[in-house]
Structure 1
Amino acid sequence: MNRQIAFILRRVALTIPTLFVMSIIVFLIIRLVPGDPVRTMLGFRATEENVAELRRQLGLDQSLFDQYVTWMMALLHGDLGKDIVSHANLSELLAQRLPVTFELTGLSMLLAVIVGVPLGVKAAVGGKWINRLTEGFVVFGISVPDFWLGILLVLLFAATLEWLPPSGYMPFSRSPLLNLRYMTLPVLTLAVGEAAYILRTTRSAVTAVMGRPFVTFLRAKGISTSRIIFGHALRNAGPSIATVIGIQVGVLLGGAIIIETMFALPGVGRLVVTGINQRNYPTVQVGVLAIATIFIVVSLITDLIVGWLDPRVMDGEAA
């Protein structure tokens, strides 16, 4: 069997038990929290009849094993359950909310890569002033919390300059320009920190590659620095950069929960927060499941990209 195909199959095979374990963790999150989730959802004035009825509707009157089997079989058949407040189908809610979360995280990561990778390369081969500027950006991006940066951006661009709306959302299909105006501040809020991490990793990886003997040999042959960087250094630094990008996607998904709520974006993160406030047990469970599944799939894609960039990873898997 071709080693590339074998590598892909092994990675996919490892993802399946990971998804299974993740589903168990998500299933147990609320059930193992001290207290009665049904009474929490209904409030202190709930009658015993209401508690028993909701417990029956949610299947909480069964054993944990039976509850998990029932829930997993429903998931495998595409049945995510219903929102207990709006009685809407959760699969339809996710279909409406996921595009917003994908747009937010996708645009944020795209901007972070566009800013972080070139600045990281420049910092690796540049002079003292470039290093100081990029180091300042890294310290700022890593140390400043997303919610605080978001507040500052709203105060500057929405309240003071009045260039951008402070919150809200417009689908891209209805108005691309308004969509970008509404997404600018939340995307900037998330992208700054991610760009800092990518910049730091790119700088370290490119610096390490530029110190290798083969780079000295290429310079001795008279090859320009730009050709060495874009033809060799970035290729060798690619696995490290791709790995940190994949990891930071998970950070973005976590940050999206706060940012979607702050900027009133109708994404999965805001759905989870709303579900927590409403004690909406099935919605919280499905929202967390969706976010965790996305992160696992992104991790799989990252592993495949790293294996493509560095064939030695495939050889190591085979060994």
Structure 2
Amino acid sequence: MTRFLLRRIGEGLVLIFIVTAITFFLTAAANIPIARNLLGPSASEAQVAAMNAKLGLDQPVVQRYFEWLAGVAHGDLGTSYFTSQPVGDAIMARLPVTLSVLLVASILTILISGVLGIVGASKGGVTDGVIQGVSIVTYVFPGIILGIVMVYVFAIQLKWVPAIGYVPFADSPIGWFQSIILPAILLSIGGIATVASQLRGSMVDELGREYVRTLRSRGAGTRSILYKHTLRNAAGPALTTFSLQFIVMFGGSLFIEKIFALPGFGTYAYTTTIQGDLPAMLGVTLVSVGLVVVVNTIVDLANGWLNPKVRTE
């Protein structure tokens, strides 16, 4: 297991290096006039040149990238061109908002899709048909319409939760949950449908295998067959599907944050990209890829625990 984990970490580090390098060099190749954007159109060429020198933009591109990597190795993600705020501080101020929504959305996705997949596969018939029909409808239903409906019903009419804004967990755990539950539900709906469908299909395949018939012939109970054998074997593909859906949810966090006015990581990523704020963009890329790598590593470890053969593949 240790070698398995070290291999995954090494692969993650290589991926982070490749993605940040691509981001850096493509942004540099775009030749965005950062100094001119900062100083305004009335600035002289001498002022623009001085600002480029101050920001280090007059240095060779490769040198600038490796200087940034050296800073990252010492925990320094650089300073924003536009706000002069350390990128690490700006990200850490916003990341808890997005992670809170993603955490609750992930829990909802795993629990609800697990129940739907198991029930659909074991019950079959009308129950399975209804579950699949609901999953398809929720998957294709426009998210923005559903978000508006949820805000109108639960926030405006019932007043169970706030319509917009975020409450830190340290200020009020209940307020924190109320401020993220609607965004989390909206973010998880597509993932629930996809993971439930994958789990159901894998469970149906497992229930039709020879070892299940053997277990039944030996008197094993339905509950034992479902949870001790078929679910364990079917969970691997479902977990892999969940890891892909996590990336989708992470990307969709910007959309959710815009609807619910959350001061999260997605909004910060959007703003820095529009501005061409290279240090902030690199910090966002580093954290984004790192988060995806961590989640995929956890999923790989879970798959390795469920199926030891995965560790040697």
TM-score after normalising by structure 2: 0.91
Residue aligning to 2:89: 92
Residue aligning to 2:21: 24
Deviation at 1:50, TM superposition (A): 4.3
Q: Per-residue displacement from partner, 1:91-131 (whole Å, max 9, x unpaired)?
A: 11222222222111111010111111110111111132222
Residue aligning to 1:143: 140
State the secondary structure of the residue aligned to 2:162: coil
Match for 1:73: what amino acid?
A
8 Å Cα contact 1:83/1:90 also seen in 2: yes
Residue aligning to 2:5: 8
Deviation at 1:202, TM superposition (A): 0.8
| TM-aligned CA distance change 1:292 to 1:15, over 3 Å | closer
8 Å Cα contact 2:35/2:48 also seen in 1: yes
Deviation at 1:187, TM superposition (A): 0.7
Aligned positions of 1:1-319 closer than 5 A:
4-33=1-30, 36-39=33-36, 44-315=41-312, 317=313
State the secondary structure of the residue aligned to 1:103: helix
| TM-aligned CA distance change 1:50 to 1:170, over 3 Å | farther
Runs of 4+ in 1 over 6 A off after TM superposition: none
| TM-aligned CA distance change 1:54 to 1:212, over 3 Å | farther
Match for 1:190: what amino acid?
L
Matches of 1:243 and 1:258, distance apart in 2 = 24
Match for 1:56: what amino acid?
A
Deviation at 1:232, TM superposition (A): 0.6
Q: Report the RMSD for the aligned CA atoms in angstroms.
A: 2.1
8 Å Cα contact 2:32/2:276 also seen in 1: no
Matches of 2:37 and 2:134, distance apart in 1 = 44
Matches of 1:277 and 1:229, distance apart in 2 = 50
8 Å Cα contact 1:41/1:278 also seen in 2: no
Runs of at least 5 residues in structure 1 that lack an aligned partner in the other structure: none
Q: Per-residue displacement from partner, 1:53-96 (whole Å, max 9, x unpaired)?
A: 34223322122211111111111111111223332222112222
Matches of 1:281 and 1:68, distance apart in 2 = 11
| TM-aligned CA distance change 1:303 to 1:79, over 3 Å | same
Matches of 1:166 and 1:158, distance apart in 2 = 5
The more displaced of 102-111 and 156-165 is 156-165
Deviation at 1:188, TM superposition (A): 1.0
Matches of 1:48 and 1:155, distance apart in 2 = 53
| TM-aligned CA distance change 1:308 to 1:127, over 3 Å | closer
8 Å Cα contact 2:191/2:245 also seen in 1: yes
Matches of 1:119 and 1:42, distance apart in 2 = 57
The more displaced of 237-246 and 83-92 is 83-92
Deviation at 1:42, TM superposition (A): 5.5
Match for 2:87: what amino acid?
L
8 Å Cα contact 2:20/2:282 also seen in 1: no
8 Å Cα contact 2:101/2:181 also seen in 1: no
Runs of at least 5 residues in structure 2 that lack an aligned partner in the other structure: none
Match for 1:185: what amino acid?
L
Matches of 1:50 and 1:113, distance apart in 2 = 55
8 Å Cα contact 1:142/1:196 also seen in 2: yes
| TM-aligned CA distance change 1:25 to 1:169, over 3 Å | same
Matches of 1:166 and 1:29, distance apart in 2 = 39
State the secondary structure of the residue aligned to 2:167: coil
Matches of 2:216 and 2:39, distance apart in 1 = 71
TM-score after normalising by structure 1: 0.90
Matches of 1:299 and 1:58, distance apart in 2 = 36
Matches of 1:46 and 1:115, distance apart in 2 = 58
Percent identity over paired residues: 32
